[in-house]
Amino acid sequence: MATAKPGVSLADWVCLIENESGYNPRATNKNKDGSTDYGLFQINSKYWCFDGGVSRANGCNIDCQELFQLGEAVSCAKRVVQDPNGIRAWVGWVKNCDRDLSHFLDGCGV
């Protein structure tokens, strides 16, 4: 199981999920290149999972439908951030979360 990359905080993950899937674990998004983004983290089928479409790699070694399960989605997201782009692999994070995110954890006691 992959571990989270140092420097990726809980607030980063919460902001990412809010901006990628709106907290919907069954979210999908079809992209112009024919790939699909799946689940809470909107993990792309072109590089990270297999769905029978335009998959070129299967970096998480799973069927894309498994990304609707929380444990599989978290494991794959941790794998994605191990690559050089880190959390910047997600456009939603780059556009909306590259700033102070402390308000995402207000009242959580963490």
Calculate ∠ Cα 10-94-46, nearest 5°. Answer: 95
Backbone angles phi, psi at 58, to 5 degrees: -140, 65
Q: Which amino acid is at 98?
A: D
Calculate ∠ Cα 66-70-76, nearest 5°. Answer: 65
Per-residue pLDDT band at 1 (split at 50, 70, 90): very low
What residues are annotated to the active site?
A: 20, 37
- Report the number of distinct structural domains present in the chain: 1
Is residue 109 a part of any domain in this protein? no
Q: What is the pLDDT of residue 11?
A: 95
Q: What is the pLDDT of residue 86?
A: 95
CATH of the domain at 50: 1.10.530.10
pLDDT in tens, 53-77: 877 789 999 999 999 999 999 999 9
E strand segments, 1-110: 28-30, 36-38, 43-44
User: The domain containing residue 69 runs over which residues?
Assistant: 10-104
What is the pTM assigned to this prediction?
A: 0.88
Assess contact for 47 and 64: CB atoms under 8 A: no
Arithmetic mean of pLDDT, 68-95 = 96
